[in-house]
Amino acid sequence: MIGIKGIASYVPVAGVDNYAQGAKFDKDEEFILGKIGSAFLPRKDDGQETSDLCVEAANALFANNPGLKRESVDVLIVVTQNGDEEGLPHTAAIVQDKLGLPTTVAAFDISLGCSGYVYGIYAIKGFMEAAGLKNGLLITADPYSKIVDPEDRNTTMLFGDAATATWMGEDAPWHLGKAKFGTDGSGAPHLKVSDGVFFMNGRQVFNFALIKVPAHLHELLADSDLQASDIDAFCIHQGSAAIVDAVARRFEGEPEKFIKDMVETGNTVSSSIPLLLEKHVLDSDWKRVALSGFGVGLSWGSAIIYRP
């Protein structure tokens, strides 16, 4: 059974001091840390393309996992909505070349935002099992610095650039359990790009997440015959400190199990959940962890991963 074998990441060293940025918009440190959740927002160099972030994360994965050889990779999926080119070609093809992966690799992009990692792990696992493939790379890289207007107070204090790479394969320490998904395209206008600039209706998105995510996690637990007490940690998309705190409070179960770690990264879109898994989960003694991603689409997905 295909599962999660390892995760690595790339977070640019350069970035924006979010306290200084907040001051520009008359936001104090309490707001920046308590509501936004991020003192620092990593930013890629102007010269770095999305594929370059992917390559950095994948190279970190290769460095950390000597058992993973470039020549044994047979599938590469990039989750992004801000790829290198204007629609085509797909970023995964460019990453195949830059990483020096064999030309026998199956490569494509999945277009999803903050829910993308939860969908992505099932998409790559399923594709591998359906096509008989053995070693997959699931890469997330959605640099919102390409589209966020630095003068837009609703978005410029939120997003950070990052990329992650997840090794999927056999004999994995973490397996995928049940998952549930959802889509409501009637909310598409709340998060979109027009004329190259990102727009977010923050209030609508906050309310959507607050109503949807706790209920969705409860349904997933019920479908899995599990209680909140059976879950060691909840790793939900780090949209902002406010939304993570609010979802945790609405989740009557055990709110202290909701991991919050975005002070140095910001909202990294589809990279937020794998960043949590890399840092807090993969090397832990935990047995069972719940994930939930939510955002642009509107789209959401929740899943349970576990040690077999």
Look up 267 and say whether it is catalytic. Answer: yes
- The secondary element (H helix, E strand) that includes residue 77 is strand 75-79
CB of 88 to its own copies, least distance (A): 4
Which of 176, 209, 213, 235: binder of its own copies (CB under 8 A)?
Answer: 176
**Owner of token pair 């960043």:** 275
Beta bridge partners of 132: none
Q: Give the SS3 label for residue 162.
A: coil
The CA distance from 304 to 292, in Å, is 9
Region binding its own copies by CB under 8 A among candidate stretches 21-29, 39-47, 95-103, 238-246: 95-103
Cis peptide leading into 217, omega within 30 of 0?
no
Which of 64, 183, 201, 204: binder of its own copies (CB under 8 A)?
Answer: 183
Closest to 279 in 3D by CA, of 13, 11, 16, 3? 11
- Determine, following the binding rule CB under 8 A, whether residue 170 of this chain makes contact with its own copies: no
Region binding its own copies by CB under 8 A among candidate stretches 40-48, 54-62, 117-125, 255-263: 117-125
Q: What secondary structure does DSSP assign to 168-191, as a single string?
A: EESS-SBEEEEEEEEE-GGGGGGE
The interface mask with its own copies, positions 145-164, x = CB under 8 A, is --x-----------------
Region binding its own copies by CB under 8 A among candidate stretches 6-14, 108-116, 241-249, 254-262: 108-116
* Choice among 18, 54, 114, 135 that is catalytic: 114
- Asked if 52 and 26 count as a contact pair (C-beta separation under 8 A), the reply is no
- Determine, following the binding rule CB under 8 A, whether residue 297 of this chain makes contact with its own copies: yes
**99 phi/psi in degrees, rounded to 5:** -85, -10
Look up 65 and say whether it is catalytic. Answer: no
- Asked if 261 and 13 count as a contact pair (C-beta separation under 8 A), the reply is no
Q: Is 98 exposed, middle or buried (0-12, 13-18, 19+ CB in 10 A)?
A: middle
Length of the chain: 308
Which residues in the 251-290 window bind its own copies by CB under 8 A? none
Binding residues for its own copies, rule CB under 8 A, total 67
**Owner of token pair 């997330």:** 140
Which residues in the 129-148 window bind its own copies by CB under 8 A? 129-132, 147
* Choice among 90, 190, 216, 237 that is catalytic: 237
Closest to 79 in 3D by CA, of 119, 125, 139? 139
Look up 218 and say whether it is catalytic. Answer: no
- Determine, following the binding rule CB under 8 A, whether residue 184 of this chain makes contact with its own copies: yes
**203 phi/psi in degrees, rounded to 5:** -65, -45
Region binding its own copies by CB under 8 A among candidate stretches 52-60, 85-93, 241-249, 282-290: 85-93
Which of 35, 182, 245, 250: binder of its own copies (CB under 8 A)?
Answer: 182
Please report the sign of the dihedral spanned by the C-alpha atoms of residue 60, residue 110, residue 170, residue 219. positive
Region binding its own copies by CB under 8 A among candidate stretches 26-34, 185-193, 249-257, 278-286: 185-193
Which of 26, 30, 186, 256: binder of its own copies (CB under 8 A)?
Answer: 186
- Determine, following the binding rule CB under 8 A, whether residue 25 of this chain makes contact with its own copies: no
Interacting residues with its own copies (CB under 8 A): 75-76, 81-83, 85-98, 101, 103-113, 116, 119, 122-123, 125-132, 147, 176, 178-186, 188, 191-196, 198, 296-299, 301
Residues belonging to the active site: 114, 237, 267
